[in-house]
């Protein structure tokens, strides 16, 4: 019998799941070649600034596999609707039957994305961050700040967003997490003051370039999950001492690495996978002055990891209630 879980049930289970550790282990398994992840399915709706992604995959030898449908319709807030939606299907690897439906409405996608940012910072950020920079002022900006608290003691943060009202609201929400928050006047201001920067926008024109970035900075770019989006200029990746992909194959088709490869700023051999660093196959950051970039386009193994962990927690709750 298929179990169907509502958003409220999923949100109630999340605090009892170590999402960062689950996603970190998923990246390591992926880079060891233990996970099958087909190319992303995608539909774009430019007239309404909307998109739909299908990400799916399977850990070989596991009991289940996961299919995730995620939508982002960025004009929705003006209509009184959330910008994100979607669900995850958990199916048996032995029979193909649907075991569970997680009606997560984008919540699990957002949390696994934020957890990936924390994993990247854990392995690539400089020892002394001083100030965290967030570029963007939406849901992911808030979640990135939240999850970064789990991997860095830094509680100073600077945020920039295009719209004053949105930036003001995000700054207030992040301050409530215990950060001392300053609102920046431009992405350049963020780059001057911060050595750990996260970009969380759907920008199609780069917001950061090589000349803005000081030695010793780590940048996690996670907004560019389609071929059209681009938050970092190719010359920034060309200047970086280390360029890290969540999935090399996927980043060759979308995101910052895709654009940098196309511009000839980097070559395919210049890119390392995050899971390889997690597993110890690559040293990661070398030296306090190194500039590092992680390009996180969102990989199905993250969805598998969080779906399985949340489903296990929900199952324990059901057993306890019986």
Asked if the structure places residue 173 within a domain, the reply is: yes
Q: Which domain holds residue 137?
A: 117-298
If asked whether residues 293 and 305 sit together in one domain, one would say no
If asked whether residues 162 and 279 sit together in one domain, one would say yes
Distance from CA of residue 85 to its chain's centroid?
Answer: 16
If asked whether residues 104 and 128 sit together in one domain, one would say no
Q: Please report, for the domain that includes residue 82, its CATH number.
A: 3.30.1780.10
CB atoms within 10 A of CB 89: 18
Q: Please report, for the domain that includes residue 133, its CATH number.
A: 3.40.50.720
- Is pLDDT at 57 greater than 80 in this prediction? yes
CB atoms within 10 A of CB 133: 27
Structure pTM?
0.94
Q: How many domains does the chain have?
A: 2
If asked whether residues 79 and 187 sit together in one domain, one would say no
If asked whether residues 305 and 294 sit together in one domain, one would say no
Summarised one tens digit per residue, pLDDT across range 160-202 is: 999 999 999 999 999 999 999 999 999 999 999 999 999 999 9
pLDDT value of residue 212: 98
If asked whether residues 262 and 188 sit together in one domain, one would say yes
Q: Give the integer Cα–Cα distance in Å for 251 and 306.
A: 21
If asked whether residues 134 and 265 sit together in one domain, one would say yes
Q: Give the integer Cα–Cα distance in Å for 76 and 49.
A: 9
Asked if the structure places residue 322 within a domain, the reply is: no
Q: Give the integer Cα–Cα distance in Å for 290 and 304.
A: 33
If asked whether residues 134 and 270 sit together in one domain, one would say yes
Summarised one tens digit per residue, pLDDT across range 111-151 is: 999 999 999 999 999 999 999 999 999 999 999 999 999 99
pLDDT value of residue 319: 77
If asked whether residues 102 and 121 sit together in one domain, one would say no
Asked if the structure places residue 152 within a domain, the reply is: yes
pLDDT value of residue 226: 87
If asked whether residues 186 and 257 sit together in one domain, one would say yes
pLDDT value of residue 112: 97
Pairing of strands 3-5, 98-102: parallel
- Is pLDDT at 321 greater than 80 in this prediction? no
If asked whether residues 88 and 172 sit together in one domain, one would say no
Q: Mean pLDDT, the chain, as a whole number? A: 96
Q: Which long-range contacts (CB under 8 A, 24 or more apart) does 72-75 make?
A: 72/106, 72/202, 73/45, 73/48, 73/49, 74/49, 74/50, 74/202, 75/48, 75/49, 75/50
């Amino acid at each position: 019998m298929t179990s169907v879980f509502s958003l409220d049930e999923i949100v109630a289970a999340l605090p009892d799941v170590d999402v960062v550790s689950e996603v970190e282990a998923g990246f390591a398994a992926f880079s060891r070649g233990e996970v099958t992840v087909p190319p992303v399915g995608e539909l774009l709706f430019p007239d309404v600034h909307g998109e739909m992604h299908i990400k799916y995959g399977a850990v070989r030898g596991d009991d289940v596999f996961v299919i995730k449908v995620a939508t982002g319709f960025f004009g929705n807030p003006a209509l009184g609707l959330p910008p994100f939606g979607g669900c995850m299907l958990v199916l048996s690897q032995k029979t193909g039957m649907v075991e569970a439906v997680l009606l997560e409405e984008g919540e699990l996608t957002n949390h696994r994305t934020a957890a990936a940012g924390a994993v990247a910072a854990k392995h690539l950020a400089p020892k002394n961050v001083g100030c965290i920079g967030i570029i963007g002022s939406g849901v992911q900006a808030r979640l990135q700040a939240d999850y970064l608290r789990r991997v860095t003691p830094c509680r100073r943060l600077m945020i920039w967003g295009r719209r004053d009202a949105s930036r003001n609201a995000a700054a207030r929400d992040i301050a409530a997490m215990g950060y001392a928050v300053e609102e920046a006047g431009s992405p350049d201001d963020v780059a001057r003051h911060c050595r750990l920067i996260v970009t969380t926008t759907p920008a199609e024109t780069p917001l950061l370039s090589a000349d803005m970035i000081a030695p010793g900075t780590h940048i996690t770019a996670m907004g560019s999950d389609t071929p059209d989006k681009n938050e970092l200029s190719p010359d920034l990746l060309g200047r970086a001492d280390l360029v890290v992909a969540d999935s090399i194959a996927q980043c060759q088709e979308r995101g910052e690495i895709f654009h940098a490869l196309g511009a000839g700023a980097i070559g395919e051999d210049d890119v390392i996978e995050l899971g390889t660093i997690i597993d110890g196959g690559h040293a990661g950051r070398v030296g306090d002055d190194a500039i590092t970039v992680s390009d996180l386009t969102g990989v199905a193994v993250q969805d598998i990891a969080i779906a399985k962990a949340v489903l296990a927690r929900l199952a324990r709750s059901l057993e306890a209630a019986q």
